[in-house]
Amino acid sequence: MANGVFVHRADSKYDDFPEERYQFPKRYLKRAERFENDWIVYYEPRGGGGRLGYTGIAKVSSIVPDPEEEGMFLARIESGSFLPFECFVPLRTDEGFRESDLAKPDGTLNGGLIQWAVRPISADDFNAIVSAGFPEDISFLPRVSTISLQDYPEGFAEAGTMYAHDEERLRVGKYISQIPRDRVFRRLVLEAYDSRCAITGLKLINGGGRAEVEAAHIKPVGSHGPDTVRNGIALSGTVHWMFDRGLVSLSDEYDVLVSRQANDPDQIWSLVNRTKKAILPENAAHYPHPKYLQWHREHCFKN
């Protein structure tokens, strides 16, 4: 087992859903299998409007054949393990590439290795990227022994044994488990919604600069909902309470829905902004995902 990098584009032609699965062709199978039961970072390339850097972490629970597409495989992501970085982590710093194996001897980018959609990363580089992604917790990851791409033969052949000691791997997992996920989720959701309630449209900030609005999960963590912005929505305290109890919800077109079982639906509607649609983030990639909205309507909303 080893740490890895999965390259993911927002406009990917593959059947990726980073919170749950990563699809790849058979040529990456042997390499991907080394990441089973271990952690990977997601890398966003320039193509498709990408930013050229690292966006989050996840733990691979298993590698299985794709049941719907012959010749393709799925890296299944362990439930609850996916977490976007609080801060986007660029590919390189002033000192060089964050993946040290991407540098040629003269310091320039190895154009061949950067094309690998599934690639290993040294434990030191992995830890440094995660620390940069969660800057308020830069001390939580230990430095462990290095795994190098240079252990691979040229081309796509695989090395024989390539993993850190079990004790070191468990230490990394332990420290990752200590990341304050609630804080990360709140910060990302509030930034996406500019601290404004998606349903009322109110943006209230107290004297200490703290937003009144709360970060609500659409599909709760207790039901295996991920801590990702598209499974989140910014809501004022009262609306959050109603959302969790199924008195309000959203359609796939982001229309506000009010339960017919509410004792005073007119009063609820009086809280809704005049468009009667959710006020969404500026970045469409942060919109509530229809998959989570459907779950909320089917399992929570009192229609």
Q: What is the DSSP letter of 228?
A: S
List of domains in the chain? 4-177 (3.10.590.10), 181-299 (no CATH)
What pLDDT does residue 197 have?
A: 97
Place of tokens 């629970």: 61
Q: What is the DSSP letter of 142?
A: -
Contact in structure between 250 and 256 (CB atoms under 8 Å): yes
pTM over 0.95: no
CB atoms within 10 A of CB 290: 14
DSSP code per residue over 143-170: ------GGGSPSTT---S-----HHHHH
Beta bridge partners of 118: 6
193: phi then psi, degrees, rounded to nearest 5 = -95, 10
Q: What is the DSSP letter of 17?
A: B
d(CA 285, CA 183): 21
CB atoms within 10 A of CB 226: 27
| Amino acid occupying residue 58 | A
> What string of pLDDT tens digits covers the 303 residues of the chain?
799 999 999 889 999 999 999 999 999 999 999 999 999 999 999 987 889 999 999 999 999 999 999 999 999 999 999 999 999 999 999 999 999 999 999 999 999 999 999 999 999 999 999 999 998 743 434 333 333 444 444 443 444 444 444 665 666 666 687 788 999 999 999 999 999 999 999 998 877 777 889 999 999 999 999 999 999 999 999 999 999 999 999 999 999 999 999 999 999 999 999 999 999 999 999 999 999 999 999 999 998
